[in-house]
A and B are shown apart, each in its own frame.
Chain A
């Protein structure tokens, strides 16, 4: 790999080294102090959380241990926040600061169809918002003076719209916020004129699109951008084969972060270790546990999952003032890797590349199928540029259709090769999901406008039961 050498982030930052050097006991003591301060403040300033504490028998907002907190403080979910907002618009009674302290808002995207959560943030939170993007990017190689490409649409009302800009300023990098306002070809034209690009932030799906477009134009990324020292993705799952290919195309490491509006930025990242290890196995997202308390629980029982098991992420902000989340059920599904098995340090981890949604899970012919599972099967084939799936009912039977499009730089595949590709994808899906699906090839043009945050699956089964 031709990646330019970047100073080890833990050597370059004594602060980071201090947090990385904490023992588990020190880290948990630190978390407890933060949780205690948070609960005392919310007891005084938030009707929503005061009611939660009363429900859990917590007196005067006093938390005695992390165990006490986890057992006594009831969880909240999106529906609770939406109900609270309806009763006291716009922020609900969970705001936790005076209304005139709110200088920034973040809203969730609304893709769930249930409604949008709204978060009121203070001046201090805006800095923390930037910091919680800057932190993983610094570890991924972003440095002062770098030229960085932000492919996520900037501005608007989302956390991802404002965090990157704040982060790049905090680090001292020069940001080109190209997401959502330039076509992929126009982005490439711009990149070629910048005299060097050092860092790219993009959704998994968009990094794929950008790479595919570069290759289709005959541009080898590692040759065109030899100074690149960090690619950072978030939001969607991917197969390790894809990640290895991306690193090869770009000649630098690929890093991933787990973030959300509820976390006011990123809650963990692969740091500088990459999304695949030297043996090609999946890497780990180490959790920034001094900034967030992140529990991984069985979504049915609420009990912590065992090492290696998949569970739901339940998050508590430790550094957020306005609209903090306390034991919030994210619906995000991740495989838990305890700190003892995470290769050093005291931070717990989750497996990268496989974060899914519990509410995205599709029960198909008795099998639990997550879109991330199918992503992994399909994109293990580098010839595939994109795909979409549809679950529907025909004659009372569940059918699954998967449409794949050949990547532009593989447009020269013969009919025979395309036929074999379809069969191979079909077999890979069966192997991962235990479900046979109908796979067919369609033109790449069917996927226009599919670039930022892909929603590849539609479940139309209920339509099949309409009379």
Chain B
């Protein structure tokens, strides 16, 4: 049996990583990192979490 995965914790970690990426000085990448972060935040939101308060 596969180990139980804590999806909420993984998403929180990913949000923290995406927050770091969002601090880039690369203007070409900035919007794409914001897009990535927003998608992770949306997944946290629709699972019942509160990404924006946690951020």
Contacts and interface: CB of A to CB of B under 8 A. Distances in A.
B53 A127 contact: no
A37 B37 CA distance: 20
A43 interface: no
A328 interface: no
A127 B39 CA distance: 6
Contacts of B50: 33, 37
Interface string B3-18: 0000000000000000
Given A37-B50, A123-B39, A128 B45 contact: yes
B38 A124 contact: yes
Nearest to B36: A123
A37 B55 CA distance: 14
A123 B35 contact: yes
Given A37-B53, A123-B34, A123-B35, A131 B42 contact: yes
A124 B42 contact: yes
A35 to B, nearest CB: 13
B53 A123 contact: no
Contacts of B34: 123
Nearest to B35: A123
A124 B41 contact: yes
A131 B43 CA distance: 9
A201 interface: no
Contacts of B46: 128, 131, 291, 319
A15 B7 CA distance: 11
Contact of B47 (A15, A33, A122, A126): A15
Interface residues of A, number: 16
B39 A30 contact: no
- Interface band, chain B: 10 to 19
Contacts of A15: 47
Contacts of B38: 122-124, 126-127
A9 to B, nearest CB: 15
A324 to B, nearest CB: 13
A131 B39 CA distance: 11
Nearest to B42: A127
Interface in B23-55: 34-35, 37-39, 41-43, 45-48, 50, 52-53
A128 B47 CA distance: 11
Interface in A76-127: 122-124, 126-127
Contacts of A37: 50, 52-53
Contacts of B42: 124, 127-128, 131
A290 interface: yes
B55 to A, nearest CB: 11
Contacts of B37: 123
A124 B52 CA distance: 11
Contact of A319 (B35, B39, B45, B53): B45
B48 A124 contact: no
Contacts of A123: 34-35, 37-39
Closest 6 A/B residue pairs (Cβ): A123-B38, A127-B42, A124-B38, A124-B42, A124-B41, A127-B39
Interface of B: 34-35, 37-39, 41-43, 45-48, 50, 52-53
29 contacts: A15-B47, A18-B48, A19-B48, A30-B48, A33-B50, A37-B52, A37-B53, A122-B38, A123-B34, A123-B35, A123-B37, A123-B39, A124-B38, A124-B39, A124-B41, A124-B42, A124-B45, A126-B38, A127-B38, A127-B39, A127-B42, A127-B43, A128-B42, A128-B46, A131-B42, A131-B46, A290-B48, A319-B45, A319-B46
Interface of A: 15, 18-19, 30, 33, 37, 122-124, 126-128, 131, 290-291, 319
Given A33-B50, A122-B38, A290-B48, 5 more contacts: A123-B34, A124-B38, A124-B39, A128-B45, A319-B45
